[in-house]
Structure 1
Amino acid sequence: MSCVVAFCSKKSVLVTSLCGFSLLAGMVQAGDLPAVNLGLTTFYDGATIPGGPGWSTSLYSSHYEGRKITDRHGDEIGLPKSTTNIDASALQLIYQDGSRKDVNWGLSFILPVLTKAKVDDGMDNAVLDAQEGFGDLRAGAYLQFEPVMGKNGPLFAHRLEMDVVVPIGKYDKDHAINPGSNFWSINPYWAATLWLTPKTTVTWNAYYLWNGKNDDPSPALYGASAEDVQAGQAVHFNFNAAYALTQQLHVGINGYWLKQFTDTEINGHAVSGRREKVFAIGPGAMYAFSRNDLIYANLYFESEAENRTEGNRFVFRWVHKL
């Protein structure tokens, strides 16, 4: 969602800024941009799924705490009190074919659920009401390329995926924070892992985001005259570096970056000053109980935010081969 009206009061400025914060992939939509993958995937994500071909599942859990709310210049909006707390989870099902030696196709489905959403500005701002429930379905098809091998193991592995966000999540235009976005999105990406040494890797996920129109926007956030809203296009990246302390325990640093590069359109007209941006970095770890069961824990500290909240994010992920 986005906001079209020109706000003057502190309360209204807060609403304008909150219209720009995106959280766990597909789980919460409270801004111009839908929720996207910011830090959900980390170490070795360009490599083939653990356990090999067949069905696998991932369970995600995320907690987000907003430290401040920023304006278009990245400056904090001064308020008597401002807290943001979001808890969300998601279940992912993955199928990968294994019939070819060079490249294999696969499918991915992610269904998120928002379990807690609370935003308090200290001024009883009813516009910030949130609702909980299931989010939008993220469906994807991908090509996983076989790793390039060296004398001491893999050197490079990568994947190309086309994701479509299907707007089936819970949505109510009278709420500022919704599990669903009420519009379609296309979010293709390239994931790659490079082995610098047999124990040292760097991984990245490079995304492009295109959004469709929301034909039922919130009148409280966009004004009564807003008939449709189309969020701007964006790019975002996940990146990390990992080191294998043992065969089971891997540690490193991880981060993400997002930048909206076209304006949101309201009733077909571009609205300037609403583009979102954020950067985050922090520690992470992966532990392999076996080839079929892995857990990831990642902590992110955000900075350089514009038109969105800035805070800390913790992500836990369990990957299991079915």
Structure 2
Amino acid sequence: MRKNTKYKLITGSVLLLASSCGFATENGGGMYPNGSENYLAAAVPPPGVYLQGFASSYHADELHDNSGNKIPVDFKVDANAFAPRLIWVTPQTVLGGNLVFHAIAPLVNLKVSVNGASQTKSGLGDMLFGTAIAYHASDKLHYVVGVDVNTPTGEYDKNNLANIGRNYWNVEPLIGVSYVQQSGINGDLKVMYDYNWKNKDTNYKSGQELHADYALGWGLGNGWVVGVGGYIYRQTTDDKGPAAPENGNRGQAFAIGPSIKYDNGKGFFVTAKWQKESGVENRAKGSEFKVKLSIPF
């Protein structure tokens, strides 16, 4: 790999907390905060207005290249985020399911350090707007299909070491399924596919991405579920642009860790998990603690 290409890979990956916090990179990253969903990913509540919150704390101190090897660079990322989410489940039915609208406004604090240089940024990240159709096949089985649009609202400067915005649009079709019961097996899967627009400031176009959040646990019968959760990520097409690496810079990663849920049966629930990344290529490798909270109005 050419020297300047490798440097671009490093600096791009430095901002790669997008792979887990979804707010900053081109090379090998993704706009979606991988692993954010947990239990009840597709179990949409009855018609009404709901407020959710996603909190995360991500730390990484390794960068991995196209072969999965650690890049010898003094590197560290600490990213903390809180993303309030407003959900409107309408009484309107479309194709037999409830029509749903939602919006997310992530608030981000990011610190990046590379070879003695560091930068910290805080503020509003890239906002998300989406719509979906929610189905309830039974009292246990639920699924949802939809599409999200990520907008370039976060602060971005191509000369920054740290950015909390990506500076391009993204469209993300999705499908999710949840199997929920008080006692016994609980399982969730949310699969997404990302189409990325070009960054007009760098003329760089990130490749398309396939990724999924998952959770598998056991209901204890008292509102608690215990198990594991994480995500799977694979970039499916090459990055393009004058600064794109010759290898296409396709990223991949897998994460898993312990996961729990508490549900009071009245619309309030909270999930928490810790996930550690492995099998990483062209991305930062780290670990993350995530909490998801849902409150009915």
* TM-score of the aligned structures, taking structure 2 as reference length: 0.90
Alignment gaps of 5+ in structure 1 = 218-227
Match of 1:124? 116
Match of 2:161? 176
Question: SS state of the match for residue 132, structure 1?
Answer: strand
Question: How many angstroms does 1:78 deviate by?
Answer: 2.1
Given candidates 214, 225, 236, the residue that maps to 1:250 is 225
Question: How many angstroms does 1:319 deviate by?
Answer: 0.5
Alignment gaps of 5+ in structure 2 = none
| Alpha-carbon distance between aligned partners in 2 of 1:100 and 1:183, rounded to the nearest angstrom | 33
CA deviation vs aligned residue, 1:266-304 (integer Å, no higher than 9, x gap) = 159884241111100001111124522211111101001
Please show how residues 131-150 of structure 1 align to structure 2 within 5 Å.
Answer: 131-146=121-136, 148-149=137-138
CA contact (8 A) 2:40 2:180 kept: no
Aligned residues: 295
| Alpha-carbon distance between aligned partners in 2 of 1:317 and 1:197, rounded to the nearest angstrom | 19
Match of 2:103? 109
RMSD: 2.6
| Alpha-carbon distance between aligned partners in 2 of 1:96 and 1:9, rounded to the nearest angstrom | 47
| Alpha-carbon distance between aligned partners in 2 of 1:190 and 1:167, rounded to the nearest angstrom | 23
Please show how residues 296-315 of structure 1 align to structure 2 within 5 Å.
Answer: 296-315=271-290
Match of 2:47? 53
Question: SS state of the match for residue 14, structure 1?
Answer: helix
Question: SS state of the match for residue 298, structure 1?
Answer: strand
CA deviation vs aligned residue, 1:247-283 (integer Å, no higher than 9, x gap) = 3111111010111111111159884241111100001
CA contact (8 A) 1:18 1:31 kept: no
Question: How many angstroms does 1:246 deviate by?
Answer: 2.6
Deviates more, 1:297-306 or 1:6-15: 6-15
Match of 1:225? none
The answer as to 2:277 corresponding to 1:292 is no
The answer as to 2:25 corresponding to 1:30 is yes
CA contact (8 A) 1:263 1:270 kept: no
Question: SS state of the match for residue 187, structure 1?
Answer: strand
In the TM superposition, structure 1's runs of 4+ consecutive aligned residues that sit over 3 Å from their partners are 8-14, 23-26, 99-102, 194-198, 267-271
Match of 2:205? 230
CA contact (8 A) 1:280 1:300 kept: yes
| Alpha-carbon distance between aligned partners in 1 of 2:244 and 2:7, rounded to the nearest angstrom | 25
CA deviation vs aligned residue, 1:54-76 (integer Å, no higher than 9, x gap) = 10011111001114111111111
| Alpha-carbon distance between aligned partners in 2 of 1:295 and 1:195, rounded to the nearest angstrom | 14
| Alpha-carbon distance between aligned partners in 2 of 1:169 and 1:133, rounded to the nearest angstrom | 8
CA deviation vs aligned residue, 1:60-99 (integer Å, no higher than 9, x gap) = 11001114111111111123x4322111110100000135
Residue identity in the other structure for 1:203: D
CA contact (8 A) 1:186 1:210 kept: yes
| Alpha-carbon distance between aligned partners in 2 of 1:240 and 1:313, rounded to the nearest angstrom | 15
| Alpha-carbon distance between aligned partners in 2 of 1:99 and 1:168, rounded to the nearest angstrom | 30
Q: Kindly tell me: are residues 103 and 271 of structure 1, through their superposed partners in 2, closer, same or farther at Cα, counting changes over 3 Å?
A: same
Match of 1:221? none
CA contact (8 A) 1:30 1:176 kept: no
CA contact (8 A) 2:14 2:75 kept: no
CA contact (8 A) 2:18 2:33 kept: no
Given candidates 143, 152, 159, the residue that maps to 1:158 is 143
Question: SS state of the match for residue 172, structure 1?
Answer: coil
Higher alpha-carbon Rg: 1
CA deviation vs aligned residue, 1:97-123 (integer Å, no higher than 9, x gap) = 1354941100010010112x22223x2
Match of 2:64? 70
Question: SS state of the match for residue 11, structure 2?
Answer: helix
The answer as to 2:3 corresponding to 1:7 is yes
| Alpha-carbon distance between aligned partners in 2 of 1:198 and 1:103, rounded to the nearest angstrom | 27
Question: SS state of the match for residue 85, structure 1?
Answer: strand
Question: SS state of the match for residue 106, structure 2?
Answer: strand
Identity of aligned residues (%): 23
